[in-house]
Chain A
Amino acid sequence: MTTAAKTTTPPAVQAEARAANMRRLGGSAGLYIFLTVLTIVWLLPVIAAFITSFRTMDEISIQGFWSIPQQFTLTNFNEAWNQARVSRYLGNSFAITIPSLIGMLFLSSLSAYALARYKFRLNLPIYFMFVAGTMLPFQILLLPVFRLTNALGLYNTQFSLILIHTAFQLGFCTFVLRNFMKTVPGEIFDAARVDGAGEFRMFWQIMIPLSLPALAALATLEFTWVFNDYLWAIILLQDDALKPVTAGLATLRGQFNTNWPVITAGALIATLPTLLVFIFLQRYFIQGLTLGSGK
């Protein structure tokens, strides 16, 4: 319920507190130096991968990683994109992630609406079941889900991944959305009911628009989660042409096992979508994380 709490704190108080903090810590140059060094060390693996991806393996293996690069090349990216089929894998990742997002957000807003708006006997038990499900170790589902997709003829289809992602994330999304929807005042709906709106119309035309901030936060967060899934992809798919980028990347090391520049180039390209989503939608991403643990 972080969002609600945030709005109840008078802005003036916050500003004052921040100003006090600034006085204490903000100005010190030592802090900046410390932070800059820490940040560089922290990002060193990424920086190393970045630099590697522009070099040639021959140069690295002969002169060592810590040598001054003699030449920069873009061929590694080209090779990763085309030969290593990262372009196709990325397309697959989107083909799996986007429908999963739509599915889980739509279905969880239905269940969240029911749990937030209605009093009925099974309300809390169902809610607790969803909450418990968010923490389930997915290994417990592995064998039955594998068997079930087979029985339904869904094995080796991206649809099976969409289904399991949708189902598995339902608990978390319902949990977040239900708590968010509880903060929406009931009076709004009373007015609508007087106007003769049906239950579904109230859901669709009132609750959904009001829940957009939470939906956006969830979508951002879930995008990275589903996009980054690896386990289900290797369990439920066998055609290389269907694999998302995570499963495709794992095979890079087999194909280019001694050519680290191509591997790192592929890894960096694969990270780009989630990184862009993150940089541009950072606020939502973080809101999503905090919403999920706000209680």
Chain B
Amino acid sequence: MAATLKAGRLPGASSKRRRMNWTPYLFLLLPLALYFVWIIAPTFYTIYLSLTNWNGVDPIPGFVGLQNFERLFTKDRTFSEALLNNVRWLVVFITIPTTLGLGLAMIFNNEMRGGRWYKISFYSPLVMSLPVIGLIWGWVYHPRAGLLNGFLQAIGVADPPGWLGDRDLAIWAVIIAAVWRQVGYVMVLYLAGLKNIDPSFVDAARVDGANRWQLFRHVILPLLAPVTTIIVVISIIDSLRAFDLVSIMTRGAQDTQVLANFMYIEAFNNYRMGYGAAIAVVLFAISLIFIGFYLSRVIRDELEY
């Protein structure tokens, strides 16, 4: 539909096209200036810093080439641990919330009495800030008086785990808190996707005698593919950015380090700004793959019209 709108667009502008038209640049001046100063330039500055051993204090950073990256990938165990945790986070994020969110969206896509309140229940974690979620889940996981261990003890588990204090469980415990928030998000996006499905497809399939599973598997799911792609990209980016929950719940202790928190520690605790910048650049490089993928879809959509 955008194509038709575009055709009718700007007849006035075309007559002026021979002259350079500065109007759009006037409109863009302020936003672009702000964007360059605070977003674009800092990105490049960080890339530059990653090639230095800057300690945050010296006026001029010392250039060390790729040394920081060499250390990250060959000598730094914390880095590989953090990277692994980000990958765990990512794998959980693109599977569990996506499945759960889709399931819930399928249920709530039907008109049902009181559906709105059920939906609100699942969305509400989405509007909580991550520090709040970190505090609330910290209380749930509390080894002595917490909800979870209180329950486990009540049903007769003699020695319930220490959750955030348990090296094998801690990162998963943090990720579950993150998933709890993410499910509502995914559900919203799928609900919107379902609303856009032309009912005639569904009806046609039903006339052909498809059962509910077949309908879902062969009609609805393929039609939701674009939404799924977006959700997967968003989930990946979110899991790479993960910082707040780790910072609030564990500070990266007990094998819960993630790249973002590790970068913070190296830069601001150890005054290894160059090294911290290198971690950020690795994070950026990984994101870039998915940003590129996402961008290519946007570009394709743009050029189709």
Residues of A with Cβ closer than 8 Å to B? 1-2, 4-6, 8-9, 13-14, 16-18, 20-22, 24-26, 31, 35, 39, 42-46, 48-49, 52, 60-61, 64-66, 107-108, 110-111, 113-115, 117-120, 123-124, 126-133, 135-145, 148, 163-164, 166-168, 170-171, 174, 182-187, 189-190, 193, 199, 203, 224, 227-231, 245-247, 249-250, 252-253, 260, 263-264, 267, 270-271, 274-275, 277-279, 282, 285-286, 289-290, 293-295
Task: Classify the secondary structure of B's interface with A.
Answer: helix
| Interface residues as binary, B267-285 with A (CB distance below 8 Å gives 1, 0 otherwise) | 1000001001101110110
The 3 closest A-B pairs by CB, nearest first: A228-B129, A144-B42, A167-B38
Cβ-based interface call for B290 (8 A)? yes
The distance from the CB of B24 to the nearest CB of chain A, in whole angstroms, is: 4
Q: Report the bound CA distance from A6 to B195 in whole Å.
A: 8
A185 neighbours in B (Cβ, 8 Å):
5, 8-9
Give residues 115-155 of B contacting A (CB, 8 Å).
Answer: 118, 120-132, 135-140, 142, 144-147, 150-151, 153-154
A260 is contacted by which of B118, B124, B139, B294 (Cβ under 8 Å)? B139
A17 to B196, CA, bound (A): 12
Taking CB atoms, residues of chain A closer than 8 Å to B276 are: 142-143
Quick one: which of B275-305 are within 8 Å of A by CB? 276-277, 279-281, 283-284, 287, 290-291, 294-295, 297-299, 301-302
Q: How far is the CB of B292 from chain A (nearest CB, A)?
A: 8
Check A6–B140 contact: CB distance below 8 A.
no
Instruction: Identify 7 residue pairs between A and B in the complex whose beta-carbon atoms are under 8 Å apart, listed by A's number.
Output: A13-B200, A26-B110, A64-B153, A65-B147, A135-B294, A139-B279, A267-B136
Do B27 and A167 have beta carbons less than 8 Å apart? no
When the two chains form their complex, are residues A132 and B199 in contact, meaning their CB atoms are under 8 A apart?
Answer: no
Question: Which residue of A66, A117, A190 is within 8 Å of B151 (Cβ)?
Answer: A66
Task: Tally B residues with Cβ within 8 Å of A.
Answer: 118
A143 x B5 contact (CB < 8 A) = no
A198 to chain B, nearest CB (A): 10
CB of B128 within 8 A of CB of A274, answer yes
Residue of A nearest to B113 (CB): A26
From A163, which residue of chain B is reached at the shortest CB distance?
B38
Instruction: Give the contacting residue for A274; candidates B127, B189, B230, B295; CB below 8 A.
Output: B127
The reply on B18 being an interface residue by CB < 8 A is no
Flag the segment in B70-78, B90-98, B235-243 that touches A.
B235-243
Does chain A have a CB within 8 A of B158?
no
The answer, among A182, A187, A260, for a CB contact under 8 Å with B2, is: A182
Q: Are B24 and A118 in contact (CB under 8 A)?
A: yes
Q: How far is the CA of A43 from the CA of B21 in the complex (A)?
A: 56
B1 adjacent to chain A (CB < 8 Å):
yes
**Extra pairs beyond A143-B45, A264-B139 (19, CB < 8 Å):** A1-B2, A18-B110, A25-B110, A26-B111, A114-B27, A137-B241, A139-B263, A140-B284, A163-B34, A186-B9, A199-B23, A199-B26, A230-B129, A264-B136, A267-B136, A275-B128, A279-B120, A289-B185, A290-B189
Decide yes or no: A270 and B124 within 8 Å by CB, A167-B37, A295-B301 being known contacts. no
Instruction: Decide if A107 touches B198 in the complex (CB within 8 Å).
Output: no
Q: Given A4-B1, A183-B1, verify A139-B283 contact (CB < 8 Å).
A: yes
Q: Which residues of A contact B203 (CB under 8 A)?
A: 17, 20
Decide: A136 and B287 in contact? CB cutoff 8 A: yes
Binary A-proximity of B23-64 (CB < 8 A = 1, otherwise 0): 111111011101101111111011001000000000000000
Q: Choose among A9, A123, A145 the residue that contacts B198 (Cβ–Cβ < 8 A).
A: A9
What's the dominant secondary structure at chain A's contact region?
Answer: helix
Does residue B109 face the partner (Cβ distance < 8 Å to A)? yes
A residues near B233, Cβ cutoff 8 Å? 135
Q: Which of A2, A49, A170, A285 contacts B31 (CB 8 A)?
A: A170
The residue that A141 contacts in the complex, of B38, B125, B297, with Cβ under 8 A, is B38
A139 close to B136 (CB less than 8 A) = no
- Nearest CB in chain A: distance from B98 CB, A: 13
Q: Which residues of A contact B28 (CB under 8 A)?
A: 110-111, 114-115, 126
CA distance A1 to B195 in the complex (A): 13
Q: Are B42 and A264 in contact (CB under 8 A)?
A: no
Closest to B146 in A: A65
The answer to whether residues A167 and B139 also contact, given A42-B122, A143-B49, A275-B124 and a CB cut-off of 8 A, is no
Residues of B within 8 A of A64 (CB): 145, 150, 153-154
Question: Which residues of chain B from 146 to 186 have a CB within 8 Å of any chain A CB?
Answer: 146-147, 150-151, 153-154, 180, 185
Asked whether any CB of chain A lies closer than 8 Å to the CB of B87, the reply is: no
The yes or no answer to B219 lying at the interface (CB within 8 A) is no
The answer to whether A21 and B110 touch (CB under 8 A), given A128-B298, A228-B128, is yes
Tell me which residues across on chain A come within 8 A of B150, comparing CB atoms. Answer: 64-66
- Cα–Cα, bound, A209→B297 (Å): 30
* Neighbour of B129 across the interface among A148, A166, A264, A270, CB < 8 A: A270
Whether, in the assembled complex, B224 has its beta carbon less than 8 Å from a beta carbon of chain A, the answer is no
Given A135-B294, A143-B277, A189-B12, A25 and B45 contact (CB-CB distance below 8 Å): no
CA–CA, A265 to B231, complex, Å? Answer: 33
**A253 and B135 form a contact (CB under 8 A):** yes
Instruction: Check: B11 CB closer than 8 A to any chain A CB.
Output: yes
Q: Are A133 and B35 in contact (CB under 8 A)?
A: yes
* Residues on A with beta carbons closer than 8 Å to the beta carbon of B135: 249, 252-253, 263-264, 267
Complex Cα spacing A44 to B142, Å = 15
